[in-house]
Amino acid sequence: MYLLNLILLSTFIIALSASTFKCADGSCVCDTDQEVVSCHNNASRTELPMPEKRLRGFVAIGITRNDLKTLPPEEEILQKYPDLLGIDVCGNKNFDTSIIPNYNKIHILACEGDEEKTYVDETTVPTDDCDIQCVAMQKVESAKKYLKHLYQLLLKKVEEVKDTEFFKEVSRTASSVGRDFMEFLRNHT
């Protein structure tokens, strides 16, 4: 519980100092503090918005609850978003998940079935009706829901891979490294 409160407090502080602006094709919001491009909740959006010029410093694109069917080739995306690490396309019911193996540098998070309910609210720019404190509170609530959603996805993915030989080998190696490190500390302190 302490960790969750710390995460929420950090999110709130970040939200208060966040710099947000319209970006990509003008229909998305870029958040420079969270390094995220938010393009959520547009049922008529069928393509990943691409900026005219390169957009540096953004590691993730959230493009949930749209009508995406596919994504541009990975190299084309990286030309416009050179620092990009991941794209969240959950909630795009018609998205062709068969393209995901074509992406090696960018991680594509595509939820299927029960996971299609997403928790990301559209990022907003402060206005007269909703000032920076109002926007910050919206971000905190949205972040809480999204963190819970991502945690549940992580648990599900761990369940899926925990019986694979790769996971078992990684676990054995991590345990061995931990034992060796503890032995080193005992012998040198």
For the stretch 26-54, pLDDT in tens is: 889 998 888 889 998 899 999 999 999 99
pLDDT band at residue 114 under the 50/70/90 scheme: very low
Kindly state whether residue 69 falls inside one of the protein's structural domains.
Answer: yes
Both tokens assigned to 113: 């079935």
pLDDT band at residue 113 under the 50/70/90 scheme: low
Cα atoms in the Cβ-side hemisphere of radius 13 Å centred on 62 = 21
Average pLDDT score over the chain: 80
Kindly state whether residue 178 falls inside one of the protein's structural domains.
Answer: no
Residue 152: domain span: 2-163
Kindly state whether residue 107 falls inside one of the protein's structural domains.
Answer: yes
Query: Residue 51: its pLDDT value, please?
Result: 94
Kindly state whether residue 13 falls inside one of the protein's structural domains.
Answer: yes
Which segment, 17-31, 60-74, 151-165, is predicted with the most confidence on average? 60-74
Kindly state whether residue 176 falls inside one of the protein's structural domains.
Answer: no
Kindly state whether residue 74 falls inside one of the protein's structural domains.
Answer: yes
98 — alpha (psi -120 to 50), left (phi > 0) or beta? alpha
**Total tally of structural domains belonging to the chain:** 1
**Degrees (nearest 5) of the Cα angle 77, 57, 23?**
70
The answer to which of 4-13, 96-105, 137-146 has the lowest mean pLDDT is: 4-13
| pLDDT average, residue stretch 49-73 | 93
Kindly state whether residue 177 falls inside one of the protein's structural domains.
Answer: no
| pLDDT average, residue stretch 60-75 | 94
Four-residue CA torsion sign, 174, 176, 181, 186: positive
> Is the predicted pLDDT of residue 8 greater than 90, yes or no?
no
Which segment, 83-87, 150-154, 170-174, is predicted with the most confidence on average? 83-87
Reference 65, options 34, 38, 40; nearest CA is 40
Kindly state whether residue 100 falls inside one of the protein's structural domains.
Answer: yes
| pLDDT average, residue stretch 133-156 | 73
Query: Residue 148: its pLDDT value, please?
Result: 73
